[in-house]
Chains A and B, each alone.
Chain A
């Protein structure tokens, strides 16, 4: 490698590192940028359909930006304001009372059988903490609202940029890649984009199918809050392995606290078991497993690492990143084995 080439390569690596630092330092820009990028990748099949064969590309892109923004905010807002949610928040004091009654009965039973008097009040402690967190959440609500408004403005702008300028931008970026690493970087970057987009679409479809099955199932057995619980089950299902466990917890709590005898714990468990069975046997093997192809242990460890690094977002996006690094290491290993 000549001196000029070396300088080019180091400069490029330096710029790449600087960009990574910038991304870490300014999460308020990076997160909406990343979110817009995810929506852009997800809408690629639709983009192709909308913009091929017609010259009205701008209109197509504008429509996609609207669709993407609506898709981003509508489910959250709709669920927040749904009757289920307001009904559940109204039920909080009743739930607290019901839990205290159940714990009191348990204390009496322990005293009668063993003569031991339980002097702890875990229910009061937990409920107190929930109330404190709730108050904290309410007091910081203006901050969340301003953040949401920021996202409402930034995400469509970034999306429009991706739709209109991404090709020219990526072309300029590719031109800056030094020759010795160009071919490999370009192909790996393209593969990552494809894998990431496919994974997000697959997980979204999987979550929608599971959420729908749970909602229909709970509706048919007359279980309370079917839409909210179905939505939670769908969203949590985005997390592999841990998702199904997290998704059933709210439904378990509702069934445990319900006084109405028509609320069936067994029926609810059967609905969740059926939904997860369909997911495991049909949806996951057909949609997701071919895209990631990672060992279950690797997936679980990745989720834990992802959650430590970037919270819930980290838990969701870590899998395609790990799949990409697997691909990268395989390529490096192949090259090394040829050189040795």
Chain B
């Protein structure tokens, strides 16, 4: 769904299209243009173009998608969420980095063992968006001054209501992320089982 195609379809359907200058749209297109080297800061558009799971999104869909995002600033060592907290959102790392820690006991006050460092253009917390009663399975802490773009359950509901095709596409991509994570987990479990069997044989 491109912006031009969307407009043409509306005209064909006999719907009225905006006959005035849409300043936010022009600003967005200016920022999104590959020739807009004058702007020093990276635009949301460039950022999401680099995110592989959203590669099926057209320019216009990315523009609409960014309307539902929340910009959140975190300082170094600031807790984004703790293991066991209720989870409602999915975050993209726009700048900075995030350390993920997991506590196996799950109930003590400590942050647990370091698991992974997530860098720019990576994402986390997708389970919070899909599960009805989600508990965060790990603690996320900003490794440096970090900007996150978050999308939460009410935003997804609104997106599905206002732009059902975009909402369905985003859900499909989120399901793909989950499927990748599941595949990764399965491979890890198989490798661990193999390792246990080898240790058993040695013993």
Contacts and interface: CB of A to CB of B under 8 A. Distances in A.
Main secondary structure of the interface of A (DSSP, over half): helix
Given A55-B17, A55-B18, A190-B154, A183 B81 contact: yes
Main secondary structure of the interface of B (DSSP, over half): mixed
B74 interface: yes
A5 B78 contact: yes
Contacts of B107: 338
Contacts of B70: 174-175, 182, 186
Contacts of B54: none
B197 to A, nearest CB: 36
A203 B17 CA distance: 37
A290 interface: no
Contact of A338 (B16, B80, B135, B162): B135
A239 B185 CA distance: 54
A94 interface: no
Contacts of A56: 16, 18
A146 interface: no
Contact of B86 (A179, A182, A334): A334
Interface in A169-227: 174-175, 179-180, 182-184, 186-187, 190-191
Contacts of B16: 54-56
B15 A52 contact: no
Interface of B: 10, 15-18, 70-72, 74-75, 77-81, 84-89, 107, 135, 150, 152-154, 161-162
Given A54-B15, A55-B17, A56-B16, A338 B84 contact: yes
A187 B129 CA distance: 11
Given A48-B161, A55-B18, A182 B72 contact: yes
Contacts of B161: 48
Contacts of A175: 70-71
Contacts of A335: 85-86
A190 B107 CA distance: 29
Given A48-B161, A179-B72, A191-B154, 20 more contacts: A2-B75, A48-B162, A53-B15, A55-B10, A55-B15, A55-B17, A56-B16, A56-B18, A179-B74, A179-B78, A183-B85, A183-B152, A186-B88, A186-B154, A187-B88, A187-B154, A190-B153, A331-B86, A334-B86, A338-B135
